[in-house]
Amino acid sequence: MKSFLLVPKESIETQARPGVRGTAQGERVLVRSTALRFSGAQKAPDALTALGLRSATLPGMKPAISGQEPKRRGRGGKKSAPTRGADSSTVPMPGAAVTEQTGSEAGSYRYMPLIGATMAHFYSVDAENAARGELAEDFEFIPDVVPLSFPGPVSAGQTGPRNRGMSSLAQREWPDESGVPLAHAQGIRGAGVMLGILDTGVDADHPEHASKTIQFRYVSLFPNSPHNPARDVRGFDPDGHGTHVCGIAAGVHHGVAPEVDLYAASVIESETIRTSLGRVAAGMEWLLHQFSAPENASRPAVVNLSLGFPLQPPPGISEADYLLNQRALQTMLRRLLDSNVLPVVAAGNSGPNTVGYPAAFPEALAVGAVDFERTVATFSASGAVGRRVVPDVMGYGVNVYSSTERRCNNQAFYERMSGTSMAAPYVAGIAALYRCRAPDLTALDVRDLILANAIKLPRSANHRTGKGLAVFR
């Protein structure tokens, strides 16, 4: 079984177009459009349906047991053989690898119109070849083989132990220079802004988050399977990383923008801290679907991504496939900007002279980490790709206090973590404050504001620090 993201070549090869730089006088924000930018994207699901692949755009019925359905006539009158694999009656053996449930169809697909892509699973080489014959002229077939992972919190041993506690601090720790206390004093707390988080999830019942309604989507290991559908459920987080990120950006007691409406998609497994291009695409499509609902179409939005590709192709992955995965992810970020959503991305924790993706894409607002004394963290990634310098801006990312998890007896934990994964949600919160104060600004206008108002940092011999420390002014 092979998985591919089908993206129109026109979309993946076109450079980002300039976004709308404001609105006519008297108007509010531009309405977020759900119209496809590339009309040819619809051709993929139509062709896959004709080839016998099953749509997973809506949750379907349980699959038929393999080999027990009457054989169907395929294209040209040929009989299509039943598919081998797990089915609805399969009981996995303890310790066995997780396998997607399949029926007797040729494969399955999920059409994602808001990012202009289709994710497809092919259960046989014949099905894949038939699809390539129909679509390869207009679509890139991007193999979903390069793992993404979040930069992971790094050891805070350079500045002290990772302080765990079961109680919240008396007050937020954001310094006055951050502008957060001033914004809150003025009543600017993120109200009206939508903040999307792609991470390990969020504990919706942690005291830091329990008082607000969090829209939550769990994206399954097989996001385009009709037999393992994504689910909208009460928010959970078996890892704690996503809860920590959400707490920094939007926590009620410690968040930079505590009144934002939070949309969290769980796309990263706690055991491997890895995800796939398909799961990120499904999570991003869900966010855009939420943001584009009629009641939300004119509201400002920000998305935080603490994940990325490895710096080099992993063993067994060709350079060509690696680059295709990169370009597909860049196309998704472009779709966010086209939809007036600002993507804020962690730069990574691999230190100076390292540039990862998606932070290196010009569509991203890439964030490095400093401590509360404005000293650049040794782990903060930086570098240059052509004329593109990473990071764009810095955020507090050393020993940052936020929510993590709850125990079985409902005791809630807070923890100090370090990493650009902590700096990025701080900056995402700053962006939300700007979008709260001036909702008619576009995503690119807000990006410009953050860069223009950043506090310049002393030049470092080893690190690049972009425009400096992001603050609210």
Measured in degrees and rounded to the nearest 5, phi and psi for residue 8 equal -55, 135
| Residues linked to residue 401 through DSSP beta bridges, in sequence order | 416
User: CB of 115 within 8 A of CB of 11?
Assistant: no
CA distance 152 to 200: 11
**What CA–CA distance (Å, rounded) separates 139 from 327?**
13
- Among 144, 199, 237, 338, which one carries the catalytic annotation? 199
Active-site choice (237, 421, 445, 463): 421
Instruction: Give residue 34's region: left, alpha or beta (phi > 0; psi -120 to 50).
Output: alpha
Cα–Cα distance, 134 to 146 (Å, whole number): 25
Helical H segments across 251-402, by residue range: 277-291, 319-338
Which residues lie across from 278 on neighbouring strands? none
Rg of the chain, C-alpha, whole Å: 22
Q: Catalytic residue, from 184, 206, 209, 241: name it.
A: 241
Whether 241 sits among the annotated catalytic residues: the reply is yes
Q: Is 270 a catalytic residue?
A: no
Cα–Cα distance between 288 and 34 in angstroms, integer? 8
DSSP assignment of 312-354 equals SPPTT--HHHHHHHHHHHHHHHHHHHHTTEEEEEE--SS-TT-
- Nearest Cα neighbor of 4 from 155, 109, 98, 138 is 109
**Catalytic (active site) residue 33:** no
Active-site residues, by number, are 199, 241, 421
